[in-house]
Amino acid sequence: MKKIILLLLLVLKLMMANELKDMVELQLYKTADVNLSLEEIKSKKREFQKISKDEKLSDKNMSYWVQVKFSDKMESGNYMVRYAYIDFDVSSFTKAQEVHKIYLSGSTKKFTFKYRKGVDSQLYYVHLIPTFNRFHYFIELQTMEEFYNDTDDYFYYLLFCGVMFGLVLMTGLYNAFMYYFNREKSFLYYALMQFFMVTVQLYYTGLILMSEESYLLYNILSLITAFFSALFVCSFFNTSIHLPKLDKILKFYMILLVIDIFLTLFTHTSFISEFKLYSIFGILYLVVAYLRFKQNFRPAIFFLIGWGILVLSLFAIEYFEAFLAINPLLFSSPIEAISLAIALAYKIKLIQDEKEQQKELMVHQSKLASMGEMIGNIAHQWRQPLTHLSYTVMNIEDAYKHNSLDEVYLDKKVAEATQQIEFMSQTIDDFKGFYEPNKAKELFSLAEESREVLDIMSYTFKQQDISVELKVIVDSKIKNYKNEYKQVLLNLLSNAKDALVFNGILLPKITIVIENRRVTVSDNAGGVDSKIIEKIFEPYFTTKEENSGIGLYMSKMIVEKNMGGKLTVRNLRDGAMFSMILKSC
């Protein structure tokens, strides 16, 4: 913490007044005589007009000069003049004072000179050449000691900028990778916004010299940054669905940005920058975030924090730039980057939660679909025992009417009825057990559970004249989710049955083969079209209108995600074969 505070103090020190302010007077003048020479200054000085420090040197029909006046307190020594957005060609400094120009990185330049008290003049004139009149000029006199201190401070300033820009770039890179892995467009737009934001900052913080050419690029980069920020807001908050009216305003803003990019290329002036619209639309983003938060979209709170700080910085730059000691974006950009990265991560969590809910819904839909088939099978299996029970009751009644109902006959009929009731009860138990959720893995035999599933579907296969063969080459007992295995097998058998019926196969047949932990279900329905065989495990993919298209998808999810196995399909000579390779946990 101590190092951070020291770093901030050094950054602020760059803009503090120097110790020479009471020993030198710097005054800028302008004159309409553009051919005025140094020799003519004293005689024509009355033509000079004073320039305030807030004035921009933008009039090309004027000649600009700076007057440097030393007080009697000025000591002999080497001095440095630091200046920005201006240059000079001639000055009244003598050759003996050895004036040297120094060009360093950033927006400021310097020149050095010697001063000998009592020997050299206390009054000097320097002819200025405005190099960039969109920003206020800067000029300052320093001792060499102050220059070296400033050089050290500038190193820390660069270090501070590097840390801040590094944070922004890292969040941009993080979001770029998040887009690559999730394909969520919000991440892409935000990553691009951050990358362009850093390039804008390099200009605005003075790390890249601002000129007429670079100012054009600066404006274009700013507009591109704003464009991607608008895209990000629309995508992140899904404004087209949740806030359609504000979405239209944001779309209009993006159209303005594109138009302004082309206008800037031709006029070198940004309409949006000149009218200070960046912070205005930044406030619009906050309105969007607040309304989405009111709609219970929780990630919006992080957006409000990060973007709110950034908008305050933009507002300060656009309206109070002259009073700022340091660029506030240096602090607000990393805070905004981190806050919005958290917001995006929060949104991904919500998306994952929604996907889990959809997965559970698919499981439920899949079970409902197979439940309908099961109920049909049970209803068919109950018909015979119900008929038998009806005959038993009729036999007892008939024996009673003919006085032939004795204890032996009654016990026989009661035993028959009890047997039929137990059969029906067992069917219900099978049905109930099939749909009980698996809370723990259990040891079970693949052959035994496969036979139970075949028993449940036996009537359906009989009705459709489908021959079913179970081949147990080597049975295997595995510890896994028993009911989920039965549901997958039921789905595969139902899928094979549907294919056989749909294709009108004359001698339909299904074969189940169990060999160790590998279970295959094959049919002679003609196989799966090679154009769609890679898609049959996709959710909601189906070739039949009455089918939901989630049975095979859920089967694959259950086998591979829940049971840790593998489910594949391939075509045989006369049909398709689904293969399950299961594992014991």
Residue 423 inside a domain? The answer is no
Number of domains in the chain: 3
Same domain? 320 vs 297: yes
Same domain? 167 vs 207: yes
What's 56's domain CATH number? 2.60.40
Same domain? 145 vs 162: no
Same domain? 584 vs 469: yes
Residue 128 forms beta bridges with which residues?
64, 88
The DSSP output letter for 564 is S
Distance, CA of 372 to CA of 365 (rounded, Å): 11
Residue 135 inside a domain? The answer is yes
Residue 281 inside a domain? The answer is yes
Same domain? 145 vs 269: no
pLDDT at 536: 83
Same domain? 127 vs 181: no
Residue 445 inside a domain? The answer is yes
Same domain? 500 vs 458: yes
Neighbours of 483 (CB within 10 A): 16
Residue 1 inside a domain? The answer is no
* Pairing mode, strands 518-523 and 566-571: unpaired
Residue 555 inside a domain? The answer is yes
pLDDT at 211: 67
Domain range enclosing 138: 20-149
3-state SS string for 503-536: HCCCCCEEEEEEECCEEEEEECCCCCCCCCCCCC
Residue that finishes a domain, picked among 149, 167, 193: 149
Same domain? 457 vs 550: yes
Same domain? 181 vs 62: no
What 3-state class would DSSP assign to 442? strand
Residue that finishes a domain, picked among 300, 319, 354: 354
Same domain? 452 vs 492: yes
Residue that finishes a domain, picked among 303, 328, 354: 354
Same domain? 141 vs 174: no
What's 503's domain CATH number? 3.30.565.10
Q: Which two tokens stand for residue 223?
A: 């507009």
Distance, CA of 572 to CA of 566 (rounded, Å): 19
Same domain? 194 vs 332: yes
* Pairing mode, strands 477-480 and 442-445: antiparallel
Distance, CA of 142 to CA of 112 (rounded, Å): 9
Residue 15 inside a domain? The answer is no
Mean pLDDT by 10 residues, the chain (585 residues): 40 46 84 86 82 78 89 88 84 88 72 90 89 75 78 75 83 86 87 88 71 79 92 92 92 93 87 82 91 91 90 79 69 84 84 74 64 64 73 82 81 80 72 61 91 81 89 92 86 88 90 93 89 78 52 82 89 91 85
Name the nearest CA neighbour of 526 among 544, 545, 507, 512.
507
The DSSP output letter for 559 is I
pLDDT at 427: 67
Residue 397 inside a domain? The answer is no
pLDDT at 286: 92
Radius of gyration of the chain (CA): 42
Residue type for 241, please?
I
Distance, CA of 447 to CA of 442 (rounded, Å): 15
